[in-house]
Amino acid sequence: MSALSTEDITPATVTFASLGVPARLVSVLAKTGITAPFPIQAATLPDALAGRDILGRAQTGSGKTLGFSLPLVARLADGHTMAGRPRGLILVPTRELAAQVATVLTPLAQAAGMKVATVFGGTSQHPQVAALRNRVDIVVACPGRLADLIDQGHCHLGDVEITVLDEADHMADLGFLPVVRRLLEMTPADGQRMLFSATLDGAVDVIARRFLHRPAQHSVDGDSKPPEITHHLLTVAPTDRVAVIAALASGEGRVLIFTRTKHGARKLVKQLGQAGTTATELHGNLTQGARTRNLAAFANGEVNALVATDIAARGIHVDGVDLVIHADPPAEHKAYTHRSGRTARGGAEGTVVTVQTAAQAGEVRTLMRKAGVSPRAVAAAPGSPVLREIAGPPAKRAPRPVAARPAAARPAAANARPAPQASGRGAAAASSSFRGRRRGR
């Protein structure tokens, strides 16, 4: 595949209207304060609106959701959708990203008289099936649940005119590409396809070569790392790890903390609470309702700290994340880049801290070299000045009122803690035995 052209700057004279976006969609954007296209939008919109396949390399947060949502709505407007046979399909790797894409897409679709539905696991399929029967025009789906619904006969992809693969490399990391390939084979070969990914190597390149036909290729800051991010590497004693993380998370800014495992995330939330730092969690062992509530609490400022697995490293957009902490160093350098990309978004500055023990130093040194990062490296312990330097002034927290209790209350009640968030099943896994039958138009 030929090299991608790179567009990093949008001329001030370029507008959505000048790129060919219909007036009614421009009006929707203007009402939300969006008046100037981002570079990835300026690069891809003319080709996408013309019906060309698109191969885009862009990091999460670069504005590509509008880059594919606008042409998707513009080109599908005024068409007819049959029950269970959507005409637009967006495949994404996580439930959170599906919800966020739908949030951006729905007002545009409504302006064109169309309906949008999300399809993902970890929640009841009945509302999703009902939406499909109600002639939903565009489906935003995670591959596993969509494959299940097709297997049950609730959805057919034979009428899909435009297909989008968002965060394709993350889908590859999660092992979704085999089922993605089967889903793509069920869409008409002459349909328009748009693929967006931060990297285009390995399995992603195979997908692009197999399913995209002479795509217009665009890259925006494909492999560069934002200069606004300051990187720190703190070496701590194992017994000091939680206290150091708690100190880093005790400031007024919004903090996103990554662990390698779901158990590690849940345990760290409890440990931070015991240390006086309130945090919430995001990982695959939570029900979809709990994940949505916890992410909303973090986004709206109810809690300043979110402890998450790599499920939050991609496709999660929360404005104003001041600090990213790698409580567990990631397994490989791409994960480091994507985790770190949750801060310094939209031109803001950000800080990334990796916490390591001496035993992890060799592994982390290799990780940093591959990521192209030269962090400020120091040893740290609870009370080290560098912790307050990074975290900033401690957050002002109002004391919790102590409720009066009857004298007859059991002693244990005085120490009762709120019940933890209920956990549940993770996202429905894609069945390796799924076999889809291609349908004609």
The answer to whether 61 touches 345, Cβ cutoff 8 Å, is yes
| Predicted confidence (pLDDT) at residue 169 exceeds the cutoff of 90 | no
| Predicted confidence (pLDDT) at residue 398 exceeds the cutoff of 70 | no
- The residues, ordered by sequence, that sit 6+ positions from 44 with a Cβ below 8 Å of its Cβ are 54, 56, 64, 67, 68, 194, 216, 218
Q: Quick one: tokens of 398? A: 């109002």
CA gap 199, 223 in Å, rounded: 8
- Mode of pairing for the β-strands spanning 116-119 and 376-379: unpaired
Phi-psi sector, 167: left (phi>0), alpha (psi -120 to 50), beta? left
| Tens of pLDDT, residues 226-259 | 448 899 999 999 999 999 999 999 998 899 999 9
Q: pLDDT value at position 349?
A: 82
Q: Quick one: tokens of 26? A: 């421009």
Who has greater pLDDT, 320 or 118?
118
CATH class of 5-220: alpha beta
Question: What are the angstrom distances between the C-alpha of 385 and each of 36, 48, 388, 435?
Answer: 42, 52, 6, 58
Give DSSP secondary structure letters for 287-317: -HHHHHHHHHHHHTTS-SEEEE-GGGSSS--
- The pairs formed by 274-278 with CB atoms below 8 angstroms and a separation of 24 or more are 275/242, 275/243, 275/246, 276/246, 276/250, 277/246, 277/249, 277/250, 277/305, 278/303, 278/304, 278/305, 278/397
| Tens of pLDDT, residues 410-428 | 444 334 444 434 333 333 3
84-106 average pLDDT score: 94
Task: Give the CATH fold of the 229-398 domain.
Answer: Rossmann fold (3.40.50)
Domains of the chain by residue range: 5-220, 229-398
| Tens of pLDDT, residues 32-91 | 999 999 888 999 999 999 999 999 987 666 788 999 999 999 999 989 999 999 999 999
> What type of residue is 50?
A
Mean pLDDT of the chain: 84
Q: Quick one: tokens of 130? A: 């009902």
CATH topology match: 5-220 vs 229-398 = yes
Determine how many CB atoms are found less than 10 A away from the CB of residue 33.
Answer: 6
| Tens of pLDDT, residues 105-134 | 999 999 999 999 999 998 899 999 999 999
The answer to whether 167 touches 176, Cβ cutoff 8 Å, is no
Give DSSP secondary structure letters for 39-71: HHHHHHHHHHHTT--EEEEE-TTSSHHHHHHHH
| β-sheet with 162-165: strand ranges across | 5-6, 216-220, 54-58, 192-197, 162-165, 88-91, 138-141, 116-119
Question: What are the angstrom distances between the C-alpha of 155 and each of 78, 134, 171?
Answer: 21, 11, 21
Q: What predicted TM-score, i.e. pTM, was given to this entire model?
A: 0.67
- The residues, ordered by sequence, that sit 6+ positions from 187 with a Cβ below 8 Å of its Cβ are 89, 157, 158, 160, 163, 193
Beta bridge partners of 7: none
The answer to whether 36 touches 197, Cβ cutoff 8 Å, is no
Q: What is the band of 8 on the pLDDT scale with cuts at 50, 70, 90?
A: low
The answer to whether 294 touches 281, Cβ cutoff 8 Å, is yes
CA gap 24, 43 in Å, rounded: 21
